[in-house]
């Protein structure tokens, strides 16, 4: 039986909510003891006269790297990213370094171009999302699709228009707009850290679970993190900034009732920023 459009939309929204909340695994109806070895169910015997059934050309799956070799490859990519990021003395040169970098596997998975940043190079607020989507991949700028347009409207209403620099934890669109993996974020992390050093923002806003986890180095879900101040500390240089995690604007498009929570987070961030600005010497 086919579900009604309303039921389908409700299910999609519910799954999106749990994903933003940090739920990444599904469980079966009955508990399974994973510590016991069980034999796989026997395959049904195929009649000897029946030819193998195919549905076209079968392309072998590329094996997923694992083990020591994969660890060494990741460490090498991170080291190369760190070296490239150090050479950047401005956001423009950082953009050039990212575009020339081939160590992130996402750059070879169908992305059109690197999507690095937009906004003000010396903004007091740095916004970090998870990764580019289709519209961002096409235009080469982060947060320019429907979610980005909603974010811009909310920033303007909160008095933050023209006071932000926007980037992501990865710079190439993940296939199918999936969430970037921890390894993909790790390879791009030196560039994101260098952006923090160059912009020197007073405050950081992370949007979505993936961005909050990458910046704050936590496994907590976004529903626990949002609305609570954290701290972004870089391992080198002693650079740090207060971090406010909030929900992703793409989630708000599916769950408009959650806008009140993000609005509260933006107002608190703006109040803290204006309080800091009022203390600055003129």
pLDDT digits (tens, 9 = 90+) for 206-219: 999 999 999 999 99
| Residue 13 confidence class, pLDDT cut points 50, 70, 90 | low
| pLDDT for res 53 | 42
| Residue 132 confidence class, pLDDT cut points 50, 70, 90 | very high
Q: Which residues contact 76 (CB under 8 A, 6 or more apart)?
A: 103
If we measure between CA atoms, which residue out of 262, 35, 15 comes closest to residue 160? Answer: 262
In a domain? residue 56 = no
In a domain? residue 43 = no
| pLDDT for res 2 | 58
Read off the pLDDT of residues 209-255 as tens digits, 9 standing for 90 and up. 999 999 999 999 999 999 999 999 998 778 999 999 999 999 999 99
Q: Which residues pair with 206 in a beta bridge?
A: 128, 245
pLDDT higher for 279 or 281? 279
How do 230-233 and 203-207 pair as beta strands? Answer: unpaired
| pLDDT for res 238 | 81
Region 81-96: what's the mean pLDDT? Answer: 98
In a domain? residue 225 = yes
Its domain, for residue 151, covers 68-279
| pLDDT for res 123 | 98
In a domain? residue 62 = no
Taking all residues of the chain, what is their mean pLDDT, rounded to a whole number? 85
In a domain? residue 34 = no
Rounded distance between C-alpha atoms, residue 267 and residue 262, angstroms: 9
Quote the distance between the C-alpha of residue 119 and its chain's center. Answer: 18
| pLDDT for res 60 | 34
| pLDDT for res 42 | 54
In a domain? residue 159 = yes
CATH of the domain at 231: 3.40.470.10
In a domain? residue 28 = no
Instruction: Pull the structure tokens for residue 235.
Output: 């391992």
Cα angle: 168, vertex 93, 246; to 5 degrees: 15
| pLDDT for res 12 | 60
Q: Which residues pair with 230 in a beta bridge?
A: 243
Poorest-confidence range of 9-13, 74-78, 153-157, 204-208?
9-13
| Residue 28 confidence class, pLDDT cut points 50, 70, 90 | low
Region 103-130: what's the mean pLDDT? Answer: 97
Please provide residue 129's backbone torsions phi and psi, each rounded to the nearest 5 degrees: -100, -170
In a domain? residue 63 = no
Residue 172's region, left for phi above 0, alpha for psi from -120 to 50, else beta, is beta
Assess contact for 208 and 222: CB atoms under 8 A.
yes
| Residue 29 confidence class, pLDDT cut points 50, 70, 90 | low
Domain count, the chain: 1
Length of the chain: 282
| Residue 117 confidence class, pLDDT cut points 50, 70, 90 | very high
């Amino acid at each position: 039986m086919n579900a009604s459009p309303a039921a389908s939309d409700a299910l999609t929204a519910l799954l999106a909510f749990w994903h933003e909340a940090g739920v990444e695994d599904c469980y079966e109806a009955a508990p399974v003891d994973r510590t016991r070895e069980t034999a796989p169910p026997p395959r049904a015997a195929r009649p000897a006269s029946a030819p193998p059934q195919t549905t076209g050309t079968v392309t072998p799956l590329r094996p997923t790297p694992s083990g020591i070799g994969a660890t060494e490859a990741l460490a090498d990519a991170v080291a190369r990213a760190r070296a490239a990021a150090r050479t950047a003395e401005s956001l423009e040169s950082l953009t050039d370094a990212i575009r020339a970098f081939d160590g992130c596997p996402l750059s070879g998975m169908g992305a059109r171009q690197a999507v690095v940043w937009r906004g003000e190079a010396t903004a007091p607020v740095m916004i970090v999302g998870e990764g580019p989507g289709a519209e961002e991949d096409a235009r080469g700028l982060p947060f320019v699709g429907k979610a980005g347009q909603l974010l811009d409207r909310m920033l303007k209403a909160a008095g933050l228009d023209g006071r932000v620099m926007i980037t992501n934890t990865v710079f190439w669109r993940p296939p199918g707009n999936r969430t970037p993996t921890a390894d993909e974020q790790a390879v791009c992390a030196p560039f994101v850290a260098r952006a923090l050093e160059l912009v020197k923002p007073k405050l950081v806003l992370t949007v979505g679970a993936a961005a909050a986890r990458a910046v704050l180095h936590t496994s907590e879900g976004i529903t626990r993190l949002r609305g609570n101040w954290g701290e972004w500390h870089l391992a080198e240089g002693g650079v740090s900034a207060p971090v406010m995690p909030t929900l992703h604007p793409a989630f708000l498009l599916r769950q408009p009732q959650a806008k009140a929570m993000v609005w509260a987070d933006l107002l608190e961030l703006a109040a803290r920023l204006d309080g800091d600005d009022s203390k600055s010497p003129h």
